[in-house]
Structure 1
Amino acid sequence: MVRFGVIGTNWITERFLSAAAEVDDFQLTAVYSRTEKKAQAFAEQYQIAHTFTDLIEFAQSDRFDAVYIASPTALHASQSICCLENGKHVLVEKPIASNQAEFERMVEAAKSNQVLLMEALKTTHVPNFTVIKEQLERIGPVRRVVANFCQYSSDYDAFKEGIVLNAFKPELSNGALMDLGVYTAYPCVALFGEPESVHADVYLLSSGVDAHGTMTLKYPGLIVDLMFSKITTSRIPSEIQGERGTITIDKLSNMTGLTRIDMDGTSTDIAVYQKEATMYYELDHFVKLILAGQTESGTNSFATSRQTIRVLDRARASVGLVFPADQT
């Protein structure tokens, strides 16, 4: 068994643990929260034996082998490095860090301590992502990608009432680009590599973060248009356009609803079975890497995470979007 601790007692951690229930060799033994009340409540809900409110004490504990980090993005680097330096394997939510400089420090800590570090971006692990990779040659060469993740945030209702919640706090390195834009950028980087150029346009809120926007990634012969929003919801699919056909994706974040449309108009459902708890696939992969003694994923590799965070950095630079984390 691989014993896990978790940092973060929010809805994404709950979804993670729902998926973990289906993963062989996973055991939840510890939880860290800033408050004892939240730690105890979460421990009671999930029958967790050990609770911590001190990060260093948590990282130094011998009660777990690996940690899943689902805290705000601004905390990813410091919490990951603390755990990595204490010999813990780290699976950290997307985006892996606030910026590339933080990411490089995380990689150095992982390599120095010979432990596994992986970004928890689930879509590259689900079976349908493999289907897309296999279908690209049939529809190619690919000339345009339109990737779309626009999902209205309930935190925006509070914002309009003058209450700034986590989703719209720059000190947490949040906003639409970081929270949802990464879902559009990461799969494209995984499929096509790092683009030659990156340009963004965003709508900035008074808090200093972006509410919605677009990115354009340019490759030789390929243009990628990415849309992301936390103040609107889109109902249109994402699309990969090739010279010999098109692939549509109904829900990009889960890679569900795949259709290939050939040039003669023939439409084929190419989706395969996936577990409903799609976080299962990234966690199962992570656990297997630990048991095999591996310290880097070949799927969510350092190279892919590095290129993706660099895309996000370049997008923010193009619109002057700066976080406090960029000053450290």
Structure 2
Amino acid sequence: MVRFGVIGTNWITESFIAAGRKVKDFELTAVYSRKLEKAEEFASKHKAVHTFTDIEQMAKSKEIDAAYIASPNALHAEQAKILMQHGVHVLCEKPLASNVAEVKDLIETAKQHDVLLMEAMKSTFLPNFQEVKKHLGKIGTVRRYVAQLCQYSSRYDAYRQGTILNAFNPELSNGATMDIGIYCLYPLAALFGKPKEIKASGTLLESGVDGQATITLTYEEMEAVVYYSKITSSTLPSEIQGEDATIMIDHIGHFEDVKIQYHDSTEKIISGPQDNDHRMFYEIEEFVNLIQSGKRESSINTHELALTVAEIMEKARIQFGLIYPADRLQ
């Protein structure tokens, strides 16, 4: 069994545990929260034996083999580093850290302490994303990648009434790019690597984070356009446009309905069965298998991929003036 501790007691941790329980050899043993009452309540609900209010005590406890981090973005780097320094494998929610310098430091720390570090971006592990990779060569030379994720945040209602919740707090390295723009960028970088040029524009809110943004990325033979928002909504699909056909993706974070559309309007469905109720299953299964096989890096969500996406996000947000407190510490 791989014994997990979880850091964070929010809805995403609930989803992680539900998916993890479907993975062979997954075991939840510990819960961390800053407040003991919250940790005990969450641990009791999910039948975890141990609770902690101190990350270092959790890391030293020998009660966990691995940790899943789902705390606010600005805390990821510090918490992950403490855990890895004590030999704990880390699966950290996206974004892995606040900036490129922190990502590089985490990768180096993982290597120094011989532990597995993986960014918890679920979409690249989904079976239907793997189908996109398999069929990419069938649409001819790729000329354009267009990904959008415009998803109105319920927390924006509170923001409009004068209450700034975590999602719109720059102190926590939040905002549209880090929270949802990354879903557009991860498949792009996984399929096509680093761009030659990046141009970005965004809408900064009074709180200091971006509410929405658009990034244009130039490659050798293609262009990519990604746009995303936490202050508007859209139901438009995303596309990978080749000279012979276009891959249509219903939702860039879910990959539930994926098809190839040819110039004569004929279509081929390439999406197949996947657990859309527990999408995190596939990344957790990979993480557990890597630990059990003694590997220290995923061949899908590689360290290089995490670093490439971090570099794109940092370059983009600097262009439209979004600087986090964490950036000033570097």
If the TM-score is normalised by the length of the shorter chain, which range does it land in?
over 0.9
Distance 1:17 1:148 in 2: 28
Distance 1:56 1:293 in 2: 24
Q: CA deviation at 1:178?
A: 0.5
Q: What whole-Å deviation, never above 9, does each CA across 1:95-150 have from its counterpart, x for those lacking one?
A: 11100100111111110110000000011101111110111111021100110111
Q: What whole-Å deviation, never above 9, does each CA across 1:215-238 have from its counterpart, x for those lacking one?
A: 111101211110111111111100
What residue number does 1:225 align with? 225
Q: CA deviation at 1:193?
A: 0.3
The letter of the residue matching 1:278 is: R
The within-5 A match list for 1:202-217 is 202-217=202-217
The letter of the residue matching 2:280 is: M
The letter of the residue matching 1:48 is: A
What residue number does 1:193 align with? 193
The within-5 A match list for 1:111-126 is 111-126=111-126
What residue number does 1:262 align with? 262
Distance 2:190 2:140 in 1: 17
Distance 1:205 1:229 in 2: 12
Distance 1:147 1:104 in 2: 27
What residue number does 2:312 align with? 311
Q: CA deviation at 1:168?
A: 0.3
What residue number does 2:23 align with? 23
Distance 1:235 1:298 in 2: 32
Q: CA deviation at 1:54?
A: 1.1
The within-5 A match list for 1:1-328 is 1-276=1-276, 277-328=278-329
Range that drifts further, 262-271 or 160-169 = 262-271
Q: CA deviation at 1:262?
A: 1.2
Q: What whole-Å deviation, never above 9, does each CA across 1:264-314 have from its counterpart, x for those lacking one?
A: 211121111001211000000000000000011111001101111000011
Secondary structure in 2 aligned to 1:213?
Answer: strand
Secondary structure in 2 aligned to 1:256?
Answer: coil
Secondary structure in 2 aligned to 1:298?
Answer: coil
Structure 1 segments unaligned to the other structure (5+ residues): none
Secondary structure in 2 aligned to 1:87?
Answer: coil
Distance 1:83 1:219 in 2: 37
Distance 2:233 2:321 in 1: 25
Identity level (%): 50
The letter of the residue matching 1:294 is: K
Secondary structure in 1 aligned to 2:275?
Answer: coil
Q: CA deviation at 1:33?
A: 0.4
Distance 2:324 2:267 in 1: 45
Q: CA deviation at 1:87?
A: 0.2
- TM-score norm. by structure 1 comes to 0.99
Secondary structure in 1 aligned to 2:24?
Answer: coil
The letter of the residue matching 1:173 is: S
Secondary structure in 1 aligned to 2:261?
Answer: strand
Q: CA deviation at 1:251?
A: 1.2
Secondary structure in 1 aligned to 2:97?
Answer: coil
Structure 2 segments unaligned to the other structure (5+ residues): none
Distance 1:260 1:87 in 2: 45
* Paired residues, number: 328
Distance 1:178 1:205 in 2: 15
Q: CA deviation at 1:320?
A: 1.6
Q: What whole-Å deviation, never above 9, does each CA across 1:182-233 have from its counterpart, x for those lacking one?
A: 0000110000000011111111110000001111111012111101111111
Q: CA deviation at 1:68?
A: 0.3
